[in-house]
Amino acid sequence: MKHLLLVVWLVGSTHVGEAFHATPPPHHRAIVLSALTERQQQFWEDVEEGLEGIERFYLKQNNGQNLERIRTFCASSQGLIPPPQGYASGHEPSEEHVPDLTAKPFWDTSDDPEMFPWAAPLEASVNIIQREFREQLLNSNRFAADSVWQNQVMGAGWSAVRLQRLGVWNMENCQAFPETYELLRSLNIPLAVRGVCFARQAPGSGVQPHSDGRNFILTSHLGLSIPAATNDGKECWIEVGGERRGWQEGKLTTLDTSFTHSTGNPTQQDRHVLILDFWHPELTTAERAALEFVYDLRNKFESGVVPFRKPKSLQQQEENVLGNWWKSVTGG
């Protein structure tokens, strides 16, 4: 399944990525992208202007890091180049795609301190998170209050409590988990646009197979409360790119959600994990900064923070038309 293009975020879209692991309905993806609205043209002009400034800074400060792959991402997101093809079986990247990043269903984060220096310390501190989680969330209605972004793919059995999204911490929720909040901040996890949440999978429910599309974000599930196997040997499972695994309490299960993935809880108890979305480790510092800028700007456009202006390209066209008309009138 393809994810919604950035180019259509103003054309009847839901918030891309707001449903943590959800793909927009087919009628959204069927929108014809042959022409951009003036608002969309304004957005991409502002993106280009911002990227130029970011690239100048990092070319000077960080050993010549350029944004060539991010410009390809922008072209793909606008539908200016053919959509990306999967790198492996079950890989379904969307048009929001950064080329040449390693793609594999599962990543062993806790065994790679060089690439994921935060992973092992997080596992070592899981008791802090579990204790606050049990005190605040079990037998509470907090999940129902923050589960508005589930959809047909996620199913009625999946719900969550948001701690962070788009780089902004939900302080009302974080105040209920002060030690978890401070721990996550202290580890300098390179959290990406979808952020952090506690997620619950109810007994007998599952998430349908789908791809989130974005290949530049990885997702870790930290096992908090994982039901034991049933008497007939059935266990909670997650399948990514055709490979099926389970969760372990206190351990990270890390996946690339641009692969088709699904989950199931065949037990009689809730399954709880802490979900963290973070930038792909092969992105450069400059590329992370650029992607953060693009998605922050998109949300400012969606919320109306950025006022409308006529795109510069259209202003130039109108000036040219007016100039030609004047020349025809005056004979100049």
Q: Give the mean model confidence (pLDDT) for residues 36-54.
A: 90
For the stretch 61-109, pLDDT in tens is: 767 789 999 999 999 998 899 999 999 999 999 999 999 999 999 999 9
Q: How far is CA 7 from the centre of its chain?
A: 16
**Residue 321 — pLDDT band, cuts 50, 70, 90?**
low
**Residue 22 — pLDDT band, cuts 50, 70, 90?**
very low
Residue 57 has pLDDT above 70, yes or no: yes
Q: How buried is 214 (Cβ within 10 angstroms: 0-12 exposed, 13-18 middle, 19+ buried)?
A: buried
Residue 196 has pLDDT above 60, yes or no: yes
Which two tokens mark 58? Answer: 């990092």
Q: Give the pLDDT of residue 304.
A: 85
Q: Give the pLDDT of residue 320.
A: 58
Q: Give the pLDDT of residue 331.
A: 64
Q: Give the mean model confidence (pLDDT) for residues 55-65.
A: 83
Q: Give the pLDDT of residue 144.
A: 56
More confident: 34 or 158:
158
Q: What average pLDDT is seen over the chain?
A: 83
Domain(s) of CATH 2.60.120.330: residues in the chain: 106-279
Which two tokens mark 295? Answer: 């998605």
Q: Which amino acid does the sequence have at 210?
A: H
Beta bridge partners of 169: 164
What is the DSSP track for 8-24? GTTSSPPPTTTSTT---
Buried residues in 298-320 as b, exposed as e (16+ CB within 10 A):
bbebeeeebeeeebeeeeeeeee
- Give the alpha-carbon dihedral of 265, 267, 269, 274, to 10 degrees: -30
CA 285, CA 52: separation in Å to the nearest integer?
15
What is the DSSP track for 171-239? HHHHTTSHHHHHHHHHTT--EEEEEEEEEEE-TTEEEEEE----TTEEEEEEEEE-PPPPTT----EEE
What is the DSSP track for 48-78? HHHHHHHHHHHHHHTTT---HHHHHHHHHHT
Q: Give the pLDDT of residue 327.
A: 59
What is the DSSP track for 270-332? -EEEEEEEEE-TTS-HHHHHHHHHHHHHHHHHHHT-SPP---HHHHHHHHHHHHHHHHHHHT-
More confident: 130 or 138:
130
Q: Give the pLDDT of residue 25.
A: 37
Q: Give the pLDDT of residue 52.
A: 94
Q: Which amino acid does the sequence have at 219?
A: T
For the stretch 212-262, pLDDT in tens is: 999 999 999 999 999 999 999 999 999 999 999 999 999 999 999 999 999
Question: What is the pTM assigned to this prediction?
Answer: 0.83
CA 206, CA 119: separation in Å to the nearest integer?
26
Residue 279 has pLDDT above 60, yes or no: yes
**Residue 21 — pLDDT band, cuts 50, 70, 90?**
very low
Residue 23 has pLDDT above 50, yes or no: no
Residues 106-279, CATH architecture: Sandwich (2.60)
Residue labelled with tokens 């922008």: 74
- Percentage of the chain surpassing pLDDT 70? 78
Q: Give the pLDDT of residue 140.
A: 64
Which residues neighbour 182 within 8 Å (Cβ) at sequence distance 6 or greater?
none
Q: Give the pLDDT of residue 305.
A: 85
- Read off the DSSP letter of residue 105: S
